[in-house]
Amino acid sequence: MVQATEAACAMPAKHLPLLLLLLLAPAASISIQTEQPHPSNTSLSSRLSTAQSREKTLIQRLVSRYKDVGLLGRPVMNSSDLITIEFGLAIIQILDLDENRQLLRTNCWLRYTWRDPLLSWDSWAGSQFENITQVRLFPYDVWTPDIRLHNFADERLLEKRMARVVVYSDGTVLWIPQALFKSTCPVEIEFFPFDTQVCFLEFGSWTYDVTQLNLTWFGFEYEQFKYEPNPYVDFTNYIKSNEWYSDGQDEFRTRPSMRSRQIRSRIRCTNRTYQAANGQLYNRTYKRLEYKIRMHRNPHFYLSILVLPCILLSCLTWVIFWLPPESPAKTQLGMNIFVAFFILLLLLAETTPSSVRTFPLIGYFYCLNMVTITLSTFLATLVINLYIRAEKQGRLHPLLRRALLEGLGRMFLIRQAYPLADKQQQQQHQEQQQSPTR
């Protein structure tokens, strides 16, 4: 090595660049071999970047073209064309039924589908997007129908959550946003706690009439690629409630035309009359879909705190009539049962809504038992008063005695153990008349 160094130093200065080139050539070849990527990895990355760029290019073209002509009105070629919107309601959970305010809170998925010719790209000749069948767009970039909940009772401005729309190559648009609804629901508690409530959610276009927008049922796939309109609330992803039981949670797999238990929704049309600027009247018809939900209350909790104590206290009410009138326990037991029924009536008032058209029948039963106990206590007090009064002031007046024993006795079918005084005298007189003849 020393000799080589000395020889290199002894070489002329013009040969030094050539020597350095010879020494660095092997290291450069090694670095080039190590840094060169594999051919298969290069082709894969190029394909991925090409596919992503095509999808983004397609979305940019669709959105830029739609901003020019699509957002200004309905996605139709002629103003006289009718656009068809298939609408469906899928309930996820029944959050609450406020019976006092008559409000229903639900967690739902809304399903929209329609065809937008401005979002179609399968008719593009020689297009580079033939392998792309669907893309996702934001709902504010395309036209969406103004379908609203008509019987809403919510303080919020927005009911739906942000969800992208799925656009297919033929222009079909699928939109499934989530929504938390608070709607009005008339509550009937006549048969509480064995009552059934029927609530409805009414959806329809807020501005388009039937000549511009045709609102119909969303399709139900009962077999592969076979659909039929579904005029029922979809319970496929429903989370069962502990308080309410619905008919649809057992028939969500059944074909809509073969369902028997779930309540069927209906289509309603409303005619409105307007006056033009020239004074001429014209009519507009608006179409709405009224989805119905029938809910049965789970009575197990109320059976233990309202119904069972009522039955036991009613049995104790019979015991009051078996006790003798002079017993002080009769009055005490009657007052205790009266207080117990009053407490149950307060519990019922807290459980049921106060502003209803019909009072629950179990409340009438409570009141009837309280009236019976009050009447029993009053009569027992009257009997004790007459019993004590007879010992101090003598026998009861004959007219009052006859009215009580004969009148009320015959009314309640009570047999007299001891006859009255006049009847006893008549019997003695008849026996005296018969004795001489003997």
| Residue 158 in domain | yes
Q: Are residues 109 and 257 in the same domain?
A: yes
Q: Are residues 154 and 260 in the same domain?
A: yes
The two tokens of residue 335 are 């007052």
Tell me which amino acid residue 331 is: T
| pLDDT digits 0-9 by tens, 262-282 | 999 999 999 988 888 888 898
Same domain, 372 and 294: no
pLDDT at 228: 92
Residues 99, 235, single domain; the answer is yes
- Do 124 and 102 reside in the same domain of the chain? yes
pLDDT band (50, 70, 90) for residue 51: very low
Q: Which of 410, 411, 408, 388 is nearest to 400 (CA)?
A: 408
Residue 302 has pLDDT above 80, yes or no: yes
Q: Does residue 40 sit within a domain? A: no
pLDDT tens digits along 210-266: 999 999 999 998 888 889 999 999 999 999 998 999 988 888 889 998 998 899 999
- CA dist., res. 110 & res. 215, Å (int): 14
Question: Which of 210, 93, 98, 87 minimizes the C-alpha distance to 153?
Answer: 98
Domains in the chain, number: 2
Distance from C-alpha of 405 to C-alpha of 401, rounded to nearest angstrom: 6
Q: Are residues 332 and 282 in the same domain?
A: no
User: Domain residues for 122?
Assistant: 64-298
Averaged pLDDT of the chain: 80
The answer, yes or no, to whether residue 312 has pLDDT greater than 60, is: yes
Q: Are residues 237 and 322 in the same domain?
A: no
Same domain, yes or no, for 291 and 326? no
Is the link from the previous residue into 398 a cis peptide, with omega within 30 of 0?
Answer: no
- When mean pLDDT is compared across 36-45, 64-73, 80-89, 407-416, the lowest value belongs to 36-45
* pLDDT confidence of residue 130: 74
What is the Cα–Cα distance from 395 to 402, expressed in whole angstroms? Answer: 12
At 424 the pLDDT is: 55
pLDDT score recorded for residue 19: 47
Q: Contact 363/304 with Cβ under 8 angstroms?
A: no
* Residue at 16 is within a domain: no
Across 32-158, the runs of DSSP E, i.e. the strands, are 83-98, 103-115, 134-137, 147-149
In a domain, 362, yes or no: yes
Indicate if 79 and 114 belong to the same structural domain.
yes
The reported pLDDT for the residue numbered 410 is 74
Q: Do 183 and 260 belong to one domain?
A: yes
Tokens encoding 383 = 């009997």
CATH number, domain of 294, equals: 2.70.170.10
pLDDT band at 131; cut points 50, 70, 90: confident
Looking at residue 5, its pLDDT comes to 42
- % of the chain at pLDDT higher than 70: 77
Alpha-carbon span 12 to 310, nearest angstrom: 122
Q: Can you give the CATH number for the domain in which 376 is found? A: 1.20.58.390
Verify that 104 and 172 share a domain, yes or no. Answer: yes
**Looking at the domain assignment, is residue 402 inside a domain?**
no
- pLDDT score, position 43: 54
Where a domain ends, among 298, 314, 330? 298
pTM for this model (two decimals): 0.71
- Is 321 in the same domain as 337? yes
In a domain, 203, yes or no: yes
d(CA 170, CA 132): 11
